[in-house]
Amino acid sequence: MSRSARRWLLAALAALVLALFGYLAAGPYLALNGLRRVVAAGEYDQLWRYVDFARLRESLQPQLQARIVDGLAQRLGERADAQMIGGVTAVIAAPAVEAFASPAGIAMLLRGSALRPRADAGAAPTDGGTRKAPFDPLRDARTRWESPSLFTATVPSAEGKPVVFEFRRSGLEWKLAGIRLPPLD
């Protein structure tokens, strides 16, 4: 192999490696914007391209169960029986997780009032009857890398508490795989 052919081969290999790293770095942003685009277009049947629903359910299950346990324990006080609360929690949490971690649940979260600031909820058209842009909580999300395979986008809830959307890498693909709900006060 001639010297110039070897240089071209090394340059092509270096360009390929740089392109791969560029794609990996852009991956979570592509997934985040793809999720925003699908929700804005109302194409909820395409959410599977940007959401790992099984991992999302695994992420939400313990959080929702803990919230239900806390709520029941506060209401029942000293009469609370741990075994009874555990059984009731499982019965209540399972359908809630299924509803939340579904295409309709994700769409409702991203278009509904849970993340919309209270002053903006139910906003009417602006002057002259022109419509405001659709609500998009992820547009101004605070993003950060937590590890090479975990990227987060944080947005405030309607009460101003942080809701963290977790995008995880699987091979070369990034998908929404978890949501960290805001703490209860």
pLDDT tens-digit readout, 44-90: 999 999 999 999 999 999 999 888 888 877 777 776 676 777 777 87
Put simply, whether the predicted model's pTM sits higher than 0.85 gets the answer: no
Residue 43: pLDDT band (50, 70, 90) is very high
Q: With contact defined as beta carbons under 8 Å apart, do 51 and 36 qualify?
A: no
User: SS3 for 64?
Assistant: helix
Residue 150 has pLDDT above 60, yes or no: yes
Closest CA to 153 of 124, 176, 129, 132: 176
User: Six-digit token pair at 99?
Assistant: 């509803």
Domain ranges of the chain: 3-116+135-180
Q: Which one-letter DSSP state was computed for residue 143?
A: E
Separation between Cα atoms, residue 54 and residue 85, nearest integer Å: 25
